[in-house]
Structure 1
Amino acid sequence: MTREVKLNELTALLEAATYPLSVEAARAEFDDVRLVYADGSEPLSALLTRVDDEQFSSPDEAQSSIYSTIPVEGVGEPGQSEGEG
């Protein structure tokens, strides 16, 4: 069964893993996870194929690497800010 995880829930998901964590191990551990974007979704294992790292030393490092591979359209409209009223 596929788990759908919103971007704002990614931190909790990554914190549940044991570190250091290789990218290959992360792909296997999260093979049932689908990240839900503002404009669709993508399997987390597919996104992990695009990261430049071979291993993550912490949840923060994993999250940073993952966020750097998310398409800009996935996080919302360009120029959009939650702080604007």
Structure 2
Amino acid sequence: MTEDVKLSRVESRLRELSYPISRSEAAAECSDVELQLADGEANLGAVIADTGSESFDGPNELYEEVQNALPIEALGEPGQSDGDA
């Protein structure tokens, strides 16, 4: 079953993983998560698979990599909020 997660809530989802974790393990663990973005959706597992790091020591490191892997359009207009932060 697919889990829908807003981008503003993805950090809490990443905290559920056991660290340290490899990129491939994190991608597999999150393959059923659909990120709700400002301009559509993206599979979190696929986003993690596209990151540059081979492993992550903690959720903050993984969150930063996910943010860097997303196109700027996914984050919405500069200065705008999704209203539920």
TM-score of the pair, normalised by structure 1: 0.89
Structure 1 ranges of 4+ moved more than 6 A: none
The residue that corresponds to 1:81 in the other structure is 79
Runs of 5+ consecutive residues of structure 1 not aligned to the other structure: none
What TM-score results when the alignment is normalised by the length of structure 2?
Answer: 0.89
**What SS does the aligned partner of 2:69 have?**
coil
Gaps of 5+ in 2: none
Residue 29 of structure 1 and its aligned partner are, at CA, apart by: 0.6
Identity %: 35
Aligned match of 1:30: 30
Question: What is the identity, as a one-letter code, of the residue corresponding to 2:35?
Answer: L
- Root mean square deviation of aligned Cα: 1.3
Pairs within 5 Å for 1:38-49: 38-49=38-49
**Count of matched residue pairs:** 81
Residue 28 (structure 1) shift: 1.0
Provide the C-alpha distance between the structure 1 equivalents of 2:32 and 2:80, rounded to a whole number of angstroms. 30
